């Protein structure tokens, strides 16, 4: 529970209204009750502002006049809302220390202010830094490092020699540093290329539930600082994901591809292997990125959704596109011939 005055101070925002108003939580404009803080981050929601019952609304000064309740003025209301969300986060944090049901190797190093949950396993040579939290059932392999203030949620698995930076969040079931998918064809079938490289994850990285990031073949797979990755994303061996890039759910990045800084990959994106994407590239959902991208901008592939009956007709014609093109060219020739004949013999 905060007062509006405290919130204004902590969020470094200008308050217009009653500083003593108590605030117990965050809610949307329509759902907020008289002790909840709301926010207006997009003009789309402007029609809902006049009827809000919120204790206060975080909004841009230009909308202050339309707000019937207390106001917290922000140049970037969405960012201010993000910061407010931290204040109201009541997710439980495990007690520090090593749970009696955890197994920590004798020569592993767990900081006294770190926490290791029940059923977690910390192998020989592993390091868990100050205030890091390993959830229940987490596996931390030999010589793996978890930086200060990082948190691994229940049952996440970290293979040997993986380095995780500071202030990272790794959600449940994520797998960091499993073998890359490397095989050579031998006379009797596939022969495994043992994956001798590692995986380095920078600071302030968030990794979603069930996401898998493989170790490198010879050198390290690298996730740079500030990268955010959603759930069920696959990052293959030898990739490098640049600083601040965001990858949405169900995307897959094939081996040895390099993605620049400040890119966004929408959900279901696929990136083929051995290509390079420059900084500030945005990929729309379910796009198949089949070649390197050297110009910042937005890129897409796929076809639009329609009723299945109509789609089937378009899909059939897609297979005939080259033939359609040839027929078009033939017609053009015929017409130009006809035209020229007409012009010659009017």
Q: Report, as residue numbers or ranges, the catalytic residues.
A: 237
Beta carbon of residue 295, minimum distance to its own copies (angstroms, whole number): 8
Q: What distances in angstroms separate CA 305 from CA 195, 251, 299, 311, 315, one per listed residue?
A: 41, 20, 18, 8, 11
Rounded to the nearest angstrom, the gap between the alpha carbon of residue 166 and the centroid of all alpha carbons in its chain is 17
Q: Find tokens 């770190």 and name the residue.
A: 114
* Residues in 182-221 that interact with its own copies by CB under 8 A: 182-186, 188-196, 204, 206, 208-210, 212, 214, 217-219
- Dihedral of CA atoms 298, 302, 306, 308 in degrees, nearest 10, equals -170
User: Which neighbouring-strand residues pair with 128?
Assistant: 110, 146
Locate 231 and state its tokens: 């759930």
Site string for its own copies, 40-69 (x = CB under 8 A): ------------------------------
CB closer to its own copies out of 65 and 91: 91
Q: Is 89 in the site for its own copies (CB under 8 A)?
A: yes
Query: 335 with 329: CB under 8 angstroms?
Result: no
Query: 238 with 216: CB under 8 angstroms?
Result: yes
Question: Residue 50 — φ and ψ, nearest 5°?
Answer: -65, -25
* Residues in 6-35 that interact with its own copies by CB under 8 A: 25-28, 31
Q: Which of 40, 108, 141, 152 binds its own copies (CB under 8 A)?
A: 141
Q: Which of 43, 124, 130, 340 binds its own copies (CB under 8 A)?
A: 124
Window of 9-17, 45-53, 61-69, 118-126 that interacts with its own copies by CB under 8 A: 118-126
Question: How many residues touch its own copies (CB under 8 A)?
Answer: 137
* Residues in 249-308 that interact with its own copies by CB under 8 A: 249-250, 252, 254, 267-268, 270, 272, 282, 284-291, 297-308
Q: Is 225 in the site for its own copies (CB under 8 A)?
A: yes
Cα separation of 310 and 11, whole Å? 52
Q: Is 310 in the site for its own copies (CB under 8 A)?
A: yes
């Amino acid at each position: 529970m905060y007062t509006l005055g405290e919130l204004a101070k902590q969020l470094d925002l200008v308050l217009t209204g009653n500083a003593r108003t108590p605030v117990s939580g965050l809610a949307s404009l329509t759902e907020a009750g008289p002790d909840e803080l709301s926010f207006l981050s997009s003009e789309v929601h402007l029609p809902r502002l006049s009827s809000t019952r919120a204790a206060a609304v975080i909004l841009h000064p230009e909308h202050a006049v339309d707000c019937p309740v207390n106001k917290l003025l922000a140049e970037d209301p969405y960012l201010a809302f993000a910061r407010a969300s931290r204040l109201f986060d009541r997710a439980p944090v495990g007690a520090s220390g090593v749970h009696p049901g955890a197994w920590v190797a004798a020569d592993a190093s767990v900081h006294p202010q770190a926490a290791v949950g029940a059923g977690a396993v910390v192998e020989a040579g592993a390091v868990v830094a100050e205030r890091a939290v390993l959830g229940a059932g987490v596996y931390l392999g030999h010589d793996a490092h978890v930086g200060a203030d990082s948190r691994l949620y229940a049952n996440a698995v970290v293979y040997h020699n993986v380095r995780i930076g500071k202030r990272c969040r790794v959600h449940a079931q994520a797998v960091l540093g499993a073998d890359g998918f490397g095989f050579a064809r031998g006379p009797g079938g596939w022969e495994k290329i043992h994956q001798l490289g590692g995986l380095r994850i920078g600071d302030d990285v968030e990794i979603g539930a069930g996401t898998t990031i493989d170790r490198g073949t010879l050198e390290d797979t690298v996730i740079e600082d500030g990268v955010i990755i959603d759930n069920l994303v696959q990052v293959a061996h030898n990739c490098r994901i640049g600083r601040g890039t965001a990858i949405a759910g169900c995307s897959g990045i094939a081996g040895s591809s390099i993605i620049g800084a400040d890119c966004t990959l929408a959900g279901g994106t696929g990136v083929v292997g051995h290509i390079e994407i420059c900084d500030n590239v945005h990929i729309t959902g379910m796009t198949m990125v089949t070649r390197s991208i050297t110009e910042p901008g937005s890129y897409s592939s796929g076809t639009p959704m329609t009723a299945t009956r109509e789609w089937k007709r378009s899909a059939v014609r897609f297979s005939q596109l080259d033939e359609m093109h040839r027929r078009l060219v033939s017609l053009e020739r015929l017409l130009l011939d006809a035209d020229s004949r007409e012009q010659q013999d009017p």
